[in-house]
Amino acid sequence: MRSLRRRAFGSRPVGILFAISALALVVSADSIADDVGVDPDTAGASDEAAPVPPAAGAAVATAPDDGLTADEIYSRVLDNRFHTSAQELVLHSGDRAGREQTIRMQMLWKRYDEEPELSNGIQSRTVVRYMEPSEMRRTGYLIVNKSNSPSDQFVYLNSMRRIRRINLRGESVVGTDLSLEDIVPREMDDATYVRVPNETISGTPCFVVEAMPKPETKSDYSKFRLYVERDHYVPLKIRYWDRAEVEIKELVSPVDSIREFDGIFVPIQSTMKHLLDETYTDLRVDMLVANPELPNRFFTQRQLESKKLRLPADVTKAAHHFEEG
């Protein structure tokens, strides 16, 4: 299998792409135990959550008649998020020439809107660390999303053994069609929103909301359009337009991949396609811990420099693991 080399670390490929506001954004129990320094015997058994059945009924594109505004719909999308999460993700990319590459990542996320005494204007913190390929292992990112000022964004380069402040909005996840902007959850005030006619995606009626990122976010996109299933407010499809207003990407999450964890509904499989480059990236959640107790020290520059992220044993015991397919 040839390595997919069309993306280089630190490059800005044409039309980089979030994923999903709630993909937000692991591996088997033995693998996570090795990486975080936990005994694999205590890492928890595989217990996949029950799938959410597809919504009944069908609809063609219709004018909104439900009384909900675009802001209200997107606010409900954001309400369908954990307070904290730990995930391990597998991203498999390919192109029409048959080149392929697989990336494994660990992502920790914590929001602070419910902890005003700690927030100081901070809405959330995200840590992303590469697990594979080996040459990228320990390279990672820290994103501090703020409500009243630009986000603080840092990268730790294992090859250089140092941390740099950087603008990560256009930074690609190496070898994939995803950017960190696609993976780190967006906040309500990052964009303005409008309703467009409802549509049906694979037999599931959806609200459709168009979002225009605000200039201060320095987004790579001029707009994105979300197709949000009506029962749990999960985006089943997101379309992306670049700054030249050319549609460049499309993210699709099958309705039968949605799982429920502590009342939060999350797709565990998604596919991003780059419409111009004719490439794709399949994203799969291998491990998820819903609302774990994550210390604030996990979301610091010092943590980026550490060799291992030692999650508490009670966190790994609560992990849900998913098999491929």
Residues 6+ apart with CB under 8 A from 319: 29, 32, 43, 44, 86, 287, 288, 289
| pLDDT confidence of residue 313 | 81
Question: Of 291, 297, 289, 296, which is closest to residue 26 (Cα–Cα)?
Answer: 289
Token readout for 241 is 């337009």
Is a pLDDT exceeding 50 seen at residue 272? yes
8 Å CB contact between 280 and 249:
no
Question: What length does the chain have?
Answer: 325
8 Å CB contact between 110 and 122:
no
Query: Could you tell me the CA-to-CA distances from 288 to 108, 163, 285 in Å, in that order?
Result: 10, 27, 7
Residues 6+ apart with CB under 8 A from 35: 27, 106, 131, 308, 309
Q: What is the pLDDT of residues 7-49, one digit of tens each?
A: 433 332 222 223 333 343 322 233 333 333 333 333 343 444 5
Higher pLDDT, residue 109 or 8: 109
Nearest-angstrom CA–CA distance, 32 and 316: 8
| pLDDT confidence of residue 64 | 65
Nearest-angstrom CA–CA distance, 121 and 149: 8
Q: Which CATH architecture has domain 29-37+55-301?
A: Clam (2.50)
Kindly report the pTM of this predicted structure.
0.77
Question: Which of 23-37, 236-250, 271-285, 302-316 comes out lowest in average pLDDT?
Answer: 23-37
Q: What is the pLDDT of residues 188-228, one digit of tens each?
A: 888 999 999 999 999 999 999 999 999 888 888 999 999 99
